[in-house]
Protein backbone atom coordinates (compact mmCIF):
# COMPACT_ATOMS: atom_id res chain seq x y z
CA UNK A 1 0.00 0.00 0.00
CA UNK A 2 1.24 3.48 -0.86
CA UNK A 3 2.76 5.70 1.82
CA UNK A 4 1.69 8.82 -0.11
CA UNK A 5 -1.74 10.07 0.84
CA UNK A 6 -4.00 10.42 -2.19
CA UNK A 7 -7.14 12.49 -2.13
CA UNK A 8 -9.76 10.77 -4.33
CA UNK A 9 -11.59 14.04 -5.00
CA UNK A 10 -8.40 15.67 -6.28
CA UNK A 11 -7.95 12.61 -8.51
CA UNK A 12 -11.54 12.94 -9.77
CA UNK A 13 -11.01 16.65 -10.48
CA UNK A 14 -7.75 16.09 -12.29
CA UNK A 15 -9.44 13.48 -14.53
CA UNK A 16 -12.32 15.90 -15.13
CA UNK A 17 -10.01 18.83 -15.98
CA UNK A 18 -8.14 16.77 -18.60
CA UNK A 19 -11.36 15.97 -20.42
CA UNK A 20 -12.89 19.42 -19.90
CA UNK A 21 -9.91 20.70 -21.93
CA UNK A 22 -10.46 18.10 -24.66
CA UNK A 23 -14.17 19.05 -24.80
CA UNK A 24 -13.31 22.74 -24.56
CA UNK A 25 -15.96 23.32 -21.86
CA UNK A 26 -16.50 26.94 -20.89
CA UNK A 27 -15.55 28.16 -17.43
CA UNK A 28 -19.11 28.26 -16.06
CA UNK A 29 -19.74 24.69 -17.07
CA UNK A 30 -16.45 23.63 -15.48
CA UNK A 31 -17.32 25.48 -12.26
CA UNK A 32 -20.73 23.83 -12.20
CA UNK A 33 -19.54 20.29 -12.88
CA UNK A 34 -16.44 20.45 -10.69
CA UNK A 35 -18.45 20.65 -7.47
CA UNK A 36 -21.39 18.83 -5.89
CA UNK A 37 -24.81 20.45 -6.09
CA UNK A 38 -25.68 19.50 -2.53
CA UNK A 39 -23.82 18.24 0.50
CA UNK A 40 -25.20 17.03 3.81
CA UNK A 41 -22.79 16.43 6.68
CA UNK A 42 -24.55 15.25 9.80
CA UNK A 43 -24.28 13.22 12.97
CA UNK A 44 -26.25 10.14 13.98
CA UNK A 45 -26.51 9.45 17.70
CA UNK A 46 -26.91 5.70 18.23
CA UNK A 47 -27.96 3.97 21.44
CA UNK A 48 -25.46 1.14 21.85
CA UNK A 49 -26.31 -2.26 23.33
CA UNK A 50 -24.75 -1.28 26.67
CA UNK A 51 -27.01 1.85 26.74
CA UNK A 52 -24.15 4.23 26.09
CA UNK A 53 -24.61 6.62 23.16
CA UNK A 54 -22.16 6.82 20.29
CA UNK A 55 -22.15 9.66 17.76
CA UNK A 56 -21.42 8.68 14.16
CA UNK A 57 -20.54 11.16 11.44
CA UNK A 58 -22.26 10.74 8.09
CA UNK A 59 -22.53 12.27 4.62
CA UNK A 60 -24.79 12.38 1.60
CA UNK A 61 -23.48 14.23 -1.41
CA UNK A 62 -25.39 14.85 -4.63
CA UNK A 63 -23.00 15.71 -7.41
CA UNK A 64 -25.35 16.23 -10.33
CA UNK A 65 -28.97 15.48 -11.19
CA UNK A 66 -29.30 17.01 -14.66
CA UNK A 67 -30.03 13.64 -16.28
CA UNK A 68 -32.28 12.29 -13.51
CA UNK A 69 -32.51 11.56 -9.79
CA UNK A 70 -29.18 11.10 -8.03
CA UNK A 71 -28.09 7.50 -7.55
CA UNK A 72 -25.27 6.06 -5.51
CA UNK A 73 -24.31 3.81 -2.64
CA UNK A 74 -23.77 4.40 1.05
CA UNK A 75 -20.36 3.30 2.16
CA UNK A 76 -19.65 2.17 5.74
CA UNK A 77 -15.97 2.59 6.51
CA UNK A 78 -13.88 3.71 9.52
CA UNK A 79 -11.74 5.92 7.24
CA UNK A 80 -14.56 7.48 5.23
CA UNK A 81 -13.99 11.15 4.37
CA UNK A 82 -16.08 13.89 2.78
CA UNK A 83 -13.62 14.05 -0.12
CA UNK A 84 -13.95 10.32 -0.79
CA UNK A 85 -17.74 10.67 -0.88
CA UNK A 86 -17.41 13.76 -3.15
CA UNK A 87 -15.24 11.83 -5.58
CA UNK A 88 -17.54 8.82 -5.54
CA UNK A 89 -20.61 11.05 -6.11
CA UNK A 90 -18.91 12.66 -9.11
CA UNK A 91 -17.89 9.27 -10.53
CA UNK A 92 -21.54 8.17 -10.16
CA UNK A 93 -22.63 11.03 -12.42
CA UNK A 94 -20.19 9.93 -15.12
CA UNK A 95 -21.00 6.25 -14.56
CA UNK A 96 -24.75 6.70 -15.08
CA UNK A 97 -24.09 8.79 -18.17
CA UNK A 98 -21.62 6.37 -19.77
CA UNK A 99 -24.16 3.51 -19.59
CA UNK A 100 -26.89 5.94 -20.60
CA UNK A 101 -29.10 5.64 -17.51
CA UNK A 102 -31.57 8.48 -16.85
CA UNK A 103 -29.91 9.12 -13.48
CA UNK A 104 -27.49 11.53 -11.86
CA UNK A 105 -24.74 10.94 -9.33
CA UNK A 106 -24.78 10.85 -5.56
CA UNK A 107 -23.01 9.02 -2.78
CA UNK A 108 -23.24 8.58 0.96
CA UNK A 109 -21.03 7.42 3.75
CA UNK A 110 -21.01 6.72 7.45
CA UNK A 111 -17.77 6.71 9.41
CA UNK A 112 -18.16 3.39 11.19
CA UNK A 113 -16.68 -0.10 11.40
CA UNK A 114 -19.60 -2.55 10.98
CA UNK A 115 -17.71 -5.68 12.18
CA UNK A 116 -17.40 -3.99 15.59
CA UNK A 117 -21.15 -3.23 15.81
CA UNK A 118 -23.89 -5.66 16.78
CA UNK A 119 -26.77 -6.14 14.33
CA UNK A 120 -29.20 -4.09 16.51
CA UNK A 121 -26.60 -1.28 16.62
CA UNK A 122 -26.27 -1.44 12.82
CA UNK A 123 -30.05 -1.31 12.48
CA UNK A 124 -30.28 1.80 14.69
CA UNK A 125 -27.46 3.40 12.69
CA UNK A 126 -29.25 2.73 9.38
CA UNK A 127 -32.56 4.04 10.64
CA UNK A 128 -30.82 7.12 12.09
CA UNK A 129 -29.22 7.82 8.70
CA UNK A 130 -32.62 7.92 7.01
CA UNK A 131 -34.23 9.99 9.78
CA UNK A 132 -31.61 12.69 9.31
CA UNK A 133 -31.83 12.66 5.55
CA UNK A 134 -35.53 11.96 5.01
CA UNK A 135 -36.37 15.10 3.00
CA UNK A 136 -33.48 14.60 0.64
CA UNK A 137 -34.27 11.03 -0.38
CA UNK A 138 -36.93 9.69 -2.72
CA UNK A 139 -37.33 7.76 -5.98
CA UNK A 140 -37.48 11.03 -7.92
CA UNK A 141 -34.77 12.78 -5.94
CA UNK A 142 -31.95 10.63 -4.63
CA UNK A 143 -31.85 6.84 -4.43
CA UNK A 144 -29.16 5.17 -2.29
CA UNK A 145 -27.79 1.62 -2.60
CA UNK A 146 -25.21 -0.60 -0.86
CA UNK A 147 -21.49 -0.05 -1.19
CA UNK A 148 -18.42 -1.10 0.78
CA UNK A 149 -19.50 -2.88 4.00
CA UNK A 150 -23.19 -2.05 3.55
CA UNK A 151 -25.57 -4.76 2.35
CA UNK A 152 -29.16 -5.67 1.47
CA UNK A 153 -30.21 -5.94 5.12
CA UNK A 154 -29.03 -2.36 5.73
CA UNK A 155 -31.00 -1.20 2.68
CA UNK A 156 -34.14 -2.95 3.92
CA UNK A 157 -33.93 -1.23 7.31
CA UNK A 158 -33.42 2.10 5.56
CA UNK A 159 -36.41 1.55 3.25
CA UNK A 160 -38.55 0.53 6.22
CA UNK A 161 -37.58 3.68 8.14
CA UNK A 162 -38.39 5.84 5.11
CA UNK A 163 -41.79 4.17 4.64
CA UNK A 164 -42.58 4.43 8.37
CA UNK A 165 -41.85 8.15 8.24
CA UNK A 166 -44.30 8.42 5.34
CA UNK A 167 -46.97 6.81 7.51
CA UNK A 168 -46.55 3.30 6.17
CA UNK A 169 -46.87 4.03 2.45
CA UNK A 170 -44.96 1.50 0.35
CA UNK A 171 -42.04 3.17 -1.43
CA UNK A 172 -39.62 0.40 -2.46
CA UNK A 173 -38.12 2.58 -5.23
CA UNK A 174 -36.49 4.82 -2.60
CA UNK A 175 -33.53 2.50 -2.23
CA UNK A 176 -31.97 -0.34 -4.21
CA UNK A 177 -29.93 -3.41 -3.36
CA UNK A 178 -32.77 -4.83 -1.26
CA UNK A 179 -33.22 -8.58 -0.70
CA UNK A 180 -35.11 -10.65 -3.28
CA UNK A 181 -38.80 -10.86 -2.40
CA UNK A 182 -38.60 -7.55 -0.57
CA UNK A 183 -38.26 -5.25 -3.55
CA UNK A 184 -34.86 -6.52 -4.66
CA UNK A 185 -34.01 -7.46 -8.22
CA UNK A 186 -32.63 -10.79 -9.31
CA UNK A 187 -29.11 -10.32 -10.52
CA UNK A 188 -28.32 -7.26 -8.36
CA UNK A 189 -25.94 -9.26 -6.17
CA UNK A 190 -24.02 -10.46 -9.21
CA UNK A 191 -24.41 -7.26 -11.24
CA UNK A 192 -21.23 -5.27 -10.50
CA UNK A 193 -18.83 -8.20 -10.68
CA UNK A 194 -20.56 -9.76 -13.68
CA UNK A 195 -20.82 -6.37 -15.41
CA UNK A 196 -17.05 -5.90 -15.11
CA UNK A 197 -16.45 -9.31 -16.68
CA UNK A 198 -19.00 -8.73 -19.48
CA UNK A 199 -16.98 -5.64 -20.45
CA UNK A 200 -13.65 -7.44 -19.93
CA UNK A 201 -14.77 -10.36 -22.11
CA UNK A 202 -15.58 -7.98 -24.96
CA UNK A 203 -12.33 -6.08 -24.49
CA UNK A 204 -10.31 -9.31 -24.57
CA UNK A 205 -11.95 -10.23 -27.86
CA UNK A 206 -10.71 -6.97 -29.38
CA UNK A 207 -7.25 -7.54 -27.90
CA UNK A 208 -7.30 -11.15 -29.15
CA UNK A 209 -6.48 -12.58 -25.72
CA UNK A 210 -8.42 -15.83 -25.24
CA UNK A 211 -10.07 -15.62 -21.84
CA UNK A 212 -9.73 -19.37 -21.33
CA UNK A 213 -5.92 -19.14 -21.57
CA UNK A 214 -5.69 -16.18 -19.21
CA UNK A 215 -4.97 -15.78 -15.52
CA UNK A 216 -5.98 -13.06 -13.09
CA UNK A 217 -5.13 -11.76 -9.64
CA UNK A 218 -7.87 -10.04 -7.65
CA UNK A 219 -7.87 -7.57 -4.78
CA UNK A 220 -11.05 -7.82 -2.71
CA UNK A 221 -13.43 -10.73 -2.28
CA UNK A 222 -16.56 -8.86 -1.24
CA UNK A 223 -19.60 -8.48 -3.44
CA UNK A 224 -17.67 -7.27 -6.48
CA UNK A 225 -14.51 -9.38 -6.20
CA UNK A 226 -16.42 -12.61 -5.60
CA UNK A 227 -18.82 -12.27 -8.52
CA UNK A 228 -16.17 -10.99 -10.90
CA UNK A 229 -14.04 -14.03 -9.96
CA UNK A 230 -17.02 -16.35 -10.36
CA UNK A 231 -17.92 -15.27 -13.89
CA UNK A 232 -14.30 -14.97 -15.01
CA UNK A 233 -13.61 -18.57 -13.95
CA UNK A 234 -16.91 -19.76 -15.44
CA UNK A 235 -15.70 -18.31 -18.76
CA UNK A 236 -12.54 -20.39 -18.44
CA UNK A 237 -10.08 -17.92 -16.87
CA UNK A 238 -8.00 -18.85 -13.84
CA UNK A 239 -7.83 -16.65 -10.72
CA UNK A 240 -4.56 -17.54 -9.06
CA UNK A 241 -4.52 -15.02 -6.19
CA UNK A 242 -7.02 -13.07 -4.11
CA UNK A 243 -6.17 -10.43 -1.55
CA UNK A 244 -8.53 -9.35 1.20
CA UNK A 245 -8.66 -7.79 4.63
CA UNK A 246 -8.27 -9.71 7.88
CA UNK A 247 -10.20 -7.99 10.65
CA UNK A 248 -8.52 -9.84 13.54
CA UNK A 249 -4.96 -9.11 12.35
CA UNK A 250 -5.79 -5.58 11.14
CA UNK A 251 -4.03 -6.21 7.80
CA UNK A 252 -4.60 -7.66 4.37
CA UNK A 253 -3.35 -11.03 3.08
CA UNK A 254 -3.11 -12.53 -0.38
CA UNK A 255 -4.28 -16.13 -0.78
CA UNK A 256 -2.61 -17.89 -3.69
CA UNK A 257 -3.14 -21.18 -5.48
CA UNK A 258 -1.13 -21.38 -8.71
CA UNK A 259 -3.38 -24.08 -10.18
CA UNK A 260 -6.37 -21.75 -9.73
CA UNK A 261 -8.47 -20.68 -6.74
CA UNK A 262 -11.73 -22.52 -6.13
CA UNK A 263 -14.07 -19.52 -5.94
CA UNK A 264 -17.02 -21.50 -4.58
CA UNK A 265 -14.81 -22.92 -1.85
CA UNK A 266 -13.38 -19.50 -0.87
CA UNK A 267 -16.88 -17.96 -0.90
CA UNK A 268 -17.82 -20.62 1.64
CA UNK A 269 -15.15 -19.46 4.08
CA UNK A 270 -15.57 -15.69 3.86
CA UNK A 271 -17.57 -13.57 6.26
CA UNK A 272 -20.28 -11.09 5.31
CA UNK A 273 -17.65 -8.37 4.82
CA UNK A 274 -15.76 -10.35 2.20
CA UNK A 275 -12.90 -11.33 4.51
CA UNK A 276 -11.57 -14.87 3.91
CA UNK A 277 -10.96 -17.00 7.01
CA UNK A 278 -7.15 -17.24 7.14
CA UNK A 279 -6.87 -20.53 9.06
CA UNK A 280 -9.43 -22.32 6.88
CA UNK A 281 -7.73 -21.05 3.71
CA UNK A 282 -4.34 -22.35 4.90
CA UNK A 283 -5.97 -25.70 5.72
CA UNK A 284 -7.26 -25.74 2.12
CA UNK A 285 -3.67 -25.40 0.85
CA UNK A 286 -3.77 -21.72 -0.08
CA UNK A 287 -0.40 -20.02 0.25
CA UNK A 288 -0.58 -17.06 2.61
CA UNK A 289 1.25 -14.01 1.22
CA UNK A 290 1.53 -10.34 2.02
CA UNK A 291 -1.54 -8.17 1.36
CA UNK A 292 0.17 -6.41 -1.59
CA UNK A 293 1.35 -9.65 -3.22
CA UNK A 294 -1.74 -9.76 -5.46
CA UNK A 295 -0.09 -6.97 -7.47
CA UNK A 296 3.10 -8.84 -8.32
CA UNK A 297 1.59 -12.07 -9.66
CA UNK A 298 2.50 -13.28 -13.16
CA UNK A 299 -0.96 -12.87 -14.67
CA UNK A 300 -2.47 -11.20 -17.74
CA UNK A 301 -5.18 -9.45 -15.75
CA UNK A 302 -5.24 -7.51 -12.50
CA UNK A 303 -8.69 -6.96 -11.03
CA UNK A 304 -8.66 -4.40 -8.22
CA UNK A 305 -12.05 -4.89 -6.52
CA UNK A 306 -11.52 -3.41 -3.06
CA UNK A 307 -10.68 0.24 -2.45
CA UNK A 308 -9.32 3.36 -4.15
CA UNK A 309 -5.63 4.35 -4.55
CA UNK A 310 -4.22 0.82 -4.69
CA UNK A 311 -2.16 1.07 -7.91
CA UNK A 312 0.27 3.95 -7.47
CA UNK A 313 3.72 4.83 -8.89
CA UNK A 314 5.19 3.49 -5.67
CA UNK A 315 3.84 -0.05 -6.14
CA UNK A 316 3.80 -0.02 -9.95
CA UNK A 317 7.37 -1.39 -10.46
CA UNK A 318 6.28 -4.54 -8.63
CA UNK A 319 3.61 -5.29 -11.24
CA UNK A 320 4.57 -8.24 -13.46
CA UNK A 321 5.65 -7.60 -17.08
CA UNK A 322 3.06 -10.19 -18.05
CA UNK A 323 0.11 -7.97 -17.07
CA UNK A 324 -1.87 -6.77 -20.12
CA UNK A 325 -5.10 -5.45 -18.59
CA UNK A 326 -6.13 -3.70 -15.41
CA UNK A 327 -9.84 -4.32 -14.97
CA UNK A 328 -10.87 -1.60 -12.51
CA UNK A 329 -13.83 -3.21 -10.74
CA UNK A 330 -13.32 -0.94 -7.69
CA UNK A 331 -13.82 2.81 -7.75
CA UNK A 332 -10.63 4.83 -8.22
CA UNK A 333 -8.12 1.99 -7.69
CA UNK A 334 -5.48 3.59 -9.95
CA UNK A 335 -4.06 7.02 -9.14
CA UNK A 336 -3.76 9.50 -12.05
CA UNK A 337 0.02 9.86 -11.54
CA UNK A 338 0.30 6.18 -12.46
CA UNK A 339 -1.21 6.70 -15.94
CA UNK A 340 2.10 7.49 -17.73
CA UNK A 341 3.72 4.37 -16.25
CA UNK A 342 0.78 2.22 -17.28
CA UNK A 343 0.81 3.70 -20.79
CA UNK A 344 4.57 3.19 -21.21
CA UNK A 345 4.23 -0.47 -20.35
CA UNK A 346 1.38 -0.84 -22.85
CA UNK A 347 -1.03 -2.07 -20.17
CA UNK A 348 -4.66 -1.40 -21.07
CA UNK A 349 -7.07 -0.13 -18.40
CA UNK A 350 -10.77 -0.86 -18.35
CA UNK A 351 -11.71 2.29 -16.42
CA UNK A 352 -13.63 2.08 -13.17
CA UNK A 353 -16.75 4.05 -13.90
CA UNK A 354 -17.37 2.00 -17.05
CA UNK A 355 -16.10 -1.30 -15.66
CA UNK A 356 -18.21 -1.33 -12.48
CA UNK A 357 -21.32 0.32 -13.96
CA UNK A 358 -23.16 -3.02 -13.87
CA UNK A 359 -24.16 -2.35 -10.25
CA UNK A 360 -25.94 0.91 -10.93
CA UNK A 361 -27.42 -0.45 -14.14
CA UNK A 362 -29.07 -3.28 -12.23
CA UNK A 363 -30.04 -0.86 -9.45
CA UNK A 364 -31.86 1.12 -12.12
CA UNK A 365 -33.61 -2.10 -13.22
CA UNK A 366 -34.56 -2.66 -9.58
CA UNK A 367 -36.04 0.84 -9.34
CA UNK A 368 -38.01 0.29 -12.55
CA UNK A 369 -39.33 -3.08 -11.34
CA UNK A 370 -40.27 -1.60 -7.93
CA UNK A 371 -42.10 1.28 -9.55
CA UNK A 372 -44.05 -1.19 -11.75
CA UNK A 373 -44.39 -3.76 -8.95
CA UNK A 374 -43.52 -6.36 -11.57
CA UNK A 375 -40.31 -8.33 -11.27
CA UNK A 376 -38.27 -9.94 -14.01
CA UNK A 377 -36.61 -13.37 -14.08
CA UNK A 378 -32.88 -13.46 -13.35
CA UNK A 379 -32.05 -14.50 -16.93
CA UNK A 380 -33.90 -11.45 -18.26
CA UNK A 381 -32.04 -9.11 -15.90
CA UNK A 382 -28.63 -10.55 -16.74
CA UNK A 383 -29.38 -10.52 -20.46
CA UNK A 384 -30.30 -6.82 -20.29
CA UNK A 385 -27.22 -6.16 -18.16
CA UNK A 386 -24.83 -7.87 -20.56
CA UNK A 387 -26.32 -5.94 -23.47
CA UNK A 388 -26.03 -2.62 -21.59
CA UNK A 389 -22.42 -3.25 -20.56
CA UNK A 390 -21.36 -4.47 -24.00
CA UNK A 391 -23.02 -1.50 -25.74
CA UNK A 392 -21.39 0.97 -23.32
CA UNK A 393 -18.00 -0.70 -23.70
CA UNK A 394 -18.19 -0.64 -27.52
CA UNK A 395 -19.13 3.04 -27.55
CA UNK A 396 -16.15 3.81 -25.34
CA UNK A 397 -13.84 1.57 -27.37
CA UNK A 398 -14.88 3.17 -30.67
CA UNK A 399 -14.52 6.68 -29.22
CA UNK A 400 -11.04 5.80 -27.97
CA UNK A 401 -10.06 4.73 -31.51
CA UNK A 402 -11.67 7.76 -33.19
CA UNK A 403 -10.14 10.30 -30.79
CA UNK A 404 -6.88 8.37 -30.23
CA UNK A 405 -7.25 8.51 -26.45
CA UNK A 406 -7.24 5.97 -23.63
CA UNK A 407 -10.42 4.11 -22.73
CA UNK A 408 -10.61 6.23 -19.57
CA UNK A 409 -10.50 9.51 -21.47
CA UNK A 410 -12.94 8.13 -24.04
CA UNK A 411 -15.39 7.14 -21.29
CA UNK A 412 -15.05 10.62 -19.77
CA UNK A 413 -15.53 12.30 -23.16
CA UNK A 414 -18.83 10.44 -23.60
CA UNK A 415 -20.05 10.91 -20.03
CA UNK A 416 -19.02 14.52 -19.41
CA UNK A 417 -20.19 15.43 -22.91
CA UNK A 418 -23.67 14.03 -22.20
CA UNK A 419 -24.02 15.70 -18.79
CA UNK A 420 -22.74 19.04 -20.10
CA UNK A 421 -25.13 18.90 -23.07
CA UNK A 422 -28.15 18.21 -20.81
CA UNK A 423 -27.07 20.93 -18.37
CA UNK A 424 -26.95 23.38 -21.25
CA UNK A 425 -30.29 22.26 -22.70
CA UNK A 426 -31.91 22.69 -19.29
CA UNK A 427 -30.63 26.24 -19.29
CA UNK A 428 -28.78 25.77 -16.00
CA UNK A 429 -25.48 27.07 -17.35
P1 LIG B 1 -17.29 -5.19 0.04
O2 LIG B 1 -17.35 -4.48 1.33
O3 LIG B 1 -18.33 -6.23 -0.25
O4 LIG B 1 -15.86 -5.90 -0.11
C5 LIG B 1 -14.67 -5.19 0.05
C6 LIG B 1 -13.53 -6.18 -0.08
O7 LIG B 1 -12.30 -5.47 -0.03
C8 LIG B 1 -13.48 -7.25 1.01
O9 LIG B 1 -13.14 -8.49 0.46
C10 LIG B 1 -12.34 -6.77 1.90
O11 LIG B 1 -11.70 -7.84 2.57
C12 LIG B 1 -11.42 -6.14 0.85
N13 LIG B 1 -10.47 -5.18 1.40
C14 LIG B 1 -10.71 -4.13 2.19
N15 LIG B 1 -9.57 -3.49 2.48
C16 LIG B 1 -8.58 -4.16 1.84
C17 LIG B 1 -7.17 -4.01 1.74
N18 LIG B 1 -6.53 -3.01 2.33
N19 LIG B 1 -6.48 -4.89 0.97
C20 LIG B 1 -7.11 -5.92 0.36
N21 LIG B 1 -8.45 -6.11 0.41
C22 LIG B 1 -9.16 -5.25 1.14
O23 LIG B 1 -17.26 -4.08 -1.10
P24 LIG B 1 -17.77 -4.20 -2.60
O25 LIG B 1 -19.21 -3.85 -2.61
O26 LIG B 1 -17.31 -5.48 -3.17
O27 LIG B 1 -17.02 -2.96 -3.28
C28 LIG B 1 -15.66 -3.08 -3.73
C29 LIG B 1 -15.34 -1.87 -4.62
O30 LIG B 1 -16.26 -1.83 -5.72
C31 LIG B 1 -15.44 -0.50 -3.96
O32 LIG B 1 -14.50 0.36 -4.56
C33 LIG B 1 -16.85 -0.05 -4.32
O34 LIG B 1 -16.99 1.36 -4.27
C35 LIG B 1 -16.91 -0.56 -5.74
N36 LIG B 1 -18.26 -0.75 -6.26
C37 LIG B 1 -19.15 -1.55 -5.64
C38 LIG B 1 -20.42 -1.73 -6.18
C39 LIG B 1 -21.42 -2.70 -5.60
O40 LIG B 1 -22.45 -2.91 -6.24
N41 LIG B 1 -21.15 -3.32 -4.46
C42 LIG B 1 -20.78 -1.03 -7.35
C43 LIG B 1 -19.83 -0.21 -7.97
C44 LIG B 1 -18.58 -0.08 -7.41
Per-domain residue ranges for the chain? 35-172, 190-355
Query: What is the rounded distance in angstroms from the CA atom of residue 111 to the CA atom of residue 312?
Result: 25
Are 231 and 193 in contact by the 8 Å Cβ rule? The answer is: yes
Query: What is the rounded distance in angstroms from the CA atom of residue 355 to the CA atom of residue 339?
Result: 17
The chain-wide mean pLDDT, for the chain, equals 96
pLDDT for the residue 6: 85
Which atom number of ligand 1 is nearest to the Cα of residue 145?
40
Are 85 and 75 in contact by the 8 Å Cβ rule? The answer is: yes
Query: What is the rounded distance in angstroms from the CA atom of residue 357 to the CA atom of residue 191?
Result: 9
Q: Is the CB of 245 under 6 A from ligand 1?
A: yes
Are 245 and 275 in contact by the 8 Å Cβ rule? The answer is: yes
Domains 35-172 and 190-355 share a fold: yes
**The CATH number of the domain covering residues in 190-355:** 3.40.50.720
Q: Is the CB of 310 under 6 A from ligand 1?
A: no
One CATH from 3.40.50.10860, 3.30.70.360, 3.40.50.720, 3.90.1010.20 for 35-172 = 3.40.50.10860
Assign 289 to helix, strand or coil: strand
Given the residues 107, 201, 270, 418, select the one marked as catalytic: 107
378 assigned to active site: no
Which atom number of ligand 1 is nearest to the Cα of residue 270?
9
- Weakly modelled stretches of the chain, pLDDT under 70: 1-3
* Nearest residue by C-alpha to atom 34 in ligand 1: 331
pLDDT for the residue 5: 79
Amino acid sequence: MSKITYNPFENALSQFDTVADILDLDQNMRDFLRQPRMESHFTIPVKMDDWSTKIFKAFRIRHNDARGPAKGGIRFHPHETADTVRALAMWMTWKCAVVDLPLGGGKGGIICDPPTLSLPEQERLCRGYVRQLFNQLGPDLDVPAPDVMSNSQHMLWMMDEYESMLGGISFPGVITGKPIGMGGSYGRTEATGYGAIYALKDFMKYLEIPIEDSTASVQGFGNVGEYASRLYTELGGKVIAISCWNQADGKAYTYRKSEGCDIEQLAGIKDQYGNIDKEKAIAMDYELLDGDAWLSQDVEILIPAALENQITPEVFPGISEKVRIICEAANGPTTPDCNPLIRNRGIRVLPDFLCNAGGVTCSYYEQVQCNMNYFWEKEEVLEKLEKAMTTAFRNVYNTSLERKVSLRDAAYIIAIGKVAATTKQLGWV
